[in-house]
A and B are shown apart, each in its own frame.
Chain A
Amino acid sequence: MPHACRILTAHWPPMAEQGLSSLPLGTIAGLSWPLLALAGVTLGLALFAAWAAVRILIYQREKTAAGQYLETLARLESQDLLNEAVIDRLPSLPSDPFWSRLADLARDSLLRHAAWVQDQTLARTALELKMGRCATELDRLRSVFRNLEDPILALDQFDEVVLANRSAEELFAFQTARAEQRAMRNLIRCEKLVHLLSTTAQRKTVGSRCDEIEMQDAQGQTHWFRVIATKFAETGAADAATGTLAVLRDIGDQKALQKRNAEFVSSVSHEMKTPLAGIKAYVELLVDGDAEDDQTREEFLNVINGQADRLQRLVDNLLNLARIEAGVVQVSKQHHSLNELLDEALRVVQPSAEAKNIELSADLSPLYLGVLADRDMLLQAAINLLSNAIKYTSPGGRVTLRSRMEGDHVRFEVSDTGVGLGPEDCQRVFEKFYRVNKDKHMAAGTGLGLPLAKHIVEDVHGGQLTVESVLGQGSTFAATLPNAGQMS
C-alpha cells in the first residue's frame, strides 16, 4: 500500500474498512479538494525531482565513462589505434546513444588520423631509405669522380670552376674547396686550354670540341692531353643554366709511340736508302759507260751485288724482328746442347775474326748444358753477339765465348776487349737501329743484330740478355736461359 494511503487509514479506520472507493468525491478523509490537489502536485514535484536526480546521476556517470573512453583513446599511440587487440581492451562504450555516438565519431576520426599517420610514416621511411641510397650512391660517385685518373673540370656559365677531381687539382695546383678565386683564368695557366674552354662555352648550342694540348703541371713537367670540352645545360629546359665540362686524357704514351714510330720509319728508310744509293750510283755509272774496262765493270757489279745482299739482310732482319715482336714466328723448340750450338756459332764467325786479326777463344763448360731451344734462332742470337763483338774490337783484340751452369739456368757470354759502351749506350744498345755514334765508322751494320738477339733470348726462349761494359775497355753480353737438363 502506498505510504499516503497508510496515513489516511491510520487516522480514519472506518474509511480503511469501507475502502476508499466507497468515499464520496470531495470528502476523502474529510479533506477538501484543494488540499488534495496540493498534495498531488507536491507528490508530482517530488517524483519529478527524484527522476531528475536519477537522470543527472546517470548523465554524470555516462559523461565520466565517455570521458574516460576518449581520454584512453587519446592517449593511445597512432600505431595502437590500428591494433585491434588494443582497441578491444579499451573501456566499454557508454550505453547512452549520445555519448556512444560521440565516442564512435571520435574513435573513427582518430582511426583515420592514425591511418594517415601510418601512411605518412611509411612514406617517410621509404623516402629516408631512398635518401640513404642516394647518399651512398652520391658518396660512391664522388669517390669515383675524385679518383678518376683523367683530370676533369666543370665550369659554370660564368667560367668559374665549380667541380674538379683530384687529378685536375694536382695538375693545376689548386683546391676547389679552398679556392677563393674560382675564375678559370686564375686557376688554369694554360692559354690554349683556357681558349678551348672559352670558345666551347660561347657556342650557342650544347656540344663538344676536342683538341690535343701540351701543358706543364705544377712541377714544370710537360704532358700531352687530348681535351674534350663539352658545353651542357644543367636541366633539359631551354633557358637552363649552362656549363662546360672538360675531360683531359693523358696521351703522353701515344705521343711517345708516334715519335718512336716516326723514328723507326726514318731509321728504316735511312738504312735502306744507303745500300740503294750504292746500287743506283753504280748502275748509273755502268749505264753512262763510265766503266771503260771489264775489270772496272766487274768491280761495279760486285758493289751492286754486295749492296743488294746488304739490302736483303736488312729486310730479312726486319721481317724476323717484326715476326718475333708480333708473336707470329714459327718456333720449333727441341732439346739441344748449348755447347754444341756455341761451337757452331764460333765456326761461323771465325773467318771474320781472322780477317780482322782478332783472337777468338772459347771457354765452354765441361758440363752438359741442355737448353730447350729453336736451334736456328738461338744460333742466330749467338752469331749476332759474336759478330757485334768482332765488329767493335780493334785488330789485335780478343773476343771470348764462355758458357757455364748457374743453378737452374745456363749462361753464355761474349766478352771483348773492344771500344766498350758508356752508361747511356748500355741502356740503348738493344733499341732497333741504335748505333753508337762514335763507333759507327768501325763497321757497317743494320742496327738490328742486338735487338734481334735480345728478342730471341728473352721473348722466344724466356731468358735474359744483359750487357756490362766499361768505356774503352770492352763489353760483356750475357745470356741466361732456363736449364733443360739432360736429354731424355
Chain B
Amino acid sequence: MPKRVLLCDDEIHILRAAEFKLKRGGYDVEIANDGEEAWQRIQVRRPDILITDYQMPRLDGLGLVERLRQDAATSDLPVLMLTAKGFELRLEDLAAKWRILALLAKPFSPRELLQIVNNVLGAPSASTAAPAETALPVTA
C-alpha cells in the first residue's frame, strides 16, 4: 500500500506539479489549499508525511506545525516546508523548535522533493536515489 503524502500550498500550480511528481514516484498524494484545510484533512486521516508551504491564508505553515506538535496523534508527523521567503526563515531554528526535516526554497525542484520524501519515508526508490543535501535526519 503506497505511503500517503499531504501537500499543502495556496498556489495551485505548485500543488499540481508536486502532486504529479510524487504520484509518479509511487505515493498516494492528497492536497490542501491552506493550513486550516490541511489540519482538517489530517484529523480525518493521518498522512505519512506533510509537505507544507510557509505563507498561506487562514493558517500558515508554522501555525499548522504548531498545532501538529501539540497534538499527541501528530506530534511525530514528519514535515517538510516550502517557502518563497528569503532571510526570515532558518532551517536550524525550524528544526530545533518544530522538528521540521527540510526547508525547500522556491523555486524548488520536484525531483529533489521526491528524493527527500523517499529518504524520509524509506520508499523502495530511495535506495537508489542520491540523498538530498537539504534533508535532515529524521528526528521525530
Contacts from A to B (Cβ < 8 Å): 265-266, 269-270, 273-274, 276-282, 284-285, 288, 290, 303, 306-307, 437-441
Contact B13 A307 (CB under 8 A): yes
Q: Are B33 and A276 closer than 8 Å at their CB atoms?
A: no
Closest to B16 in A: A303
- Tell me if B24 is interfacial: C-beta within 8 Å of chain A: yes
Task: Establish whether residues B57 and A278, one from each chain, have CB atoms under 8 Å apart when the complex forms.
Answer: no
Residue pair A274, B106 in contact (C-beta under 8 Å): yes
Task: Type the 1/0 row for B82-112, where 1 means its CB is closer than 8 Å to any CB of A.
Answer: 0011111000000000000000011111110
Nearest CB in chain B to that of A268: its residue: B86
- A419–chain B nearest beta-carbon distance, Å: 11
Query: Are A288 and B111 interface neighbours, CB within 8 A?
Result: yes
Q: With A290-B24, A440-B10 given, is the CB distance from A281 to B110 under 8 Å?
A: yes
Instruction: List 13 interface pairs A-B (beta carbons < 8 Å), by A numbering.
Output: A266-B87, A269-B86, A273-B105, A274-B11, A274-B14, A274-B84, A277-B106, A277-B107, A280-B107, A285-B17, A288-B111, A438-B58, A440-B10
Provide the bound-state CA to CA distance between A281 and B107, in Å: 7
| CB-based closest 8 A-B pairs | A281-B17, A280-B107, A440-B57, A273-B84, A277-B106, A277-B107, A441-B57, A278-B13
Minimal beta-carbon separation of A304 from chain B (angstroms) = 9
Which residues on B sit within 8 Å (CB–CB) of A269?
A: 84, 86
Q: Check B46 for interface membership: any CB of A closer than 8 A.
A: no
Taking a contact as CB atoms under 8 Å apart, the answer to whether A290 and B20 are in contact is yes
Q: Are A270 and B85 in contact (CB under 8 A)?
A: yes
Say yes or no: B11 contacts A278, CB within 8 Å: yes
Query: Contacts A266-B88, A273-B106, A280-B107 given: A285-B57 contact, CB under 8 Å?
Result: no
Whether A285 contacts B10 by the Cβ 8 Å rule is no
Could you say which residues of chain A place their CB within 8 Å of the CB of B10?
440-441
Chain A: CB-nearest residue to B60: A437
CA distance A302 to B17 in the complex (A): 13
B17, B18, B57, B85 — most chain A CB neighbours (10 Å): B17
Report the separation of the CA atoms of residues A265 and B84 in the bound assembly, to the nearest whole angstrom: 12
CB-defined contacts of A284 to chain B, threshold 8 Å:
109-111
Q: Given that A270-B84, A277-B106, A290-B20 are contacting pairs, would A439 and B57 also be in contact in the complex, using a CB cutoff of 8 Å? A: yes
A440 to B13, CA, bound (A): 16
Among B85, B105, B106, find the residue whose CB has the most chain A CB atoms closer than 10 A: B106
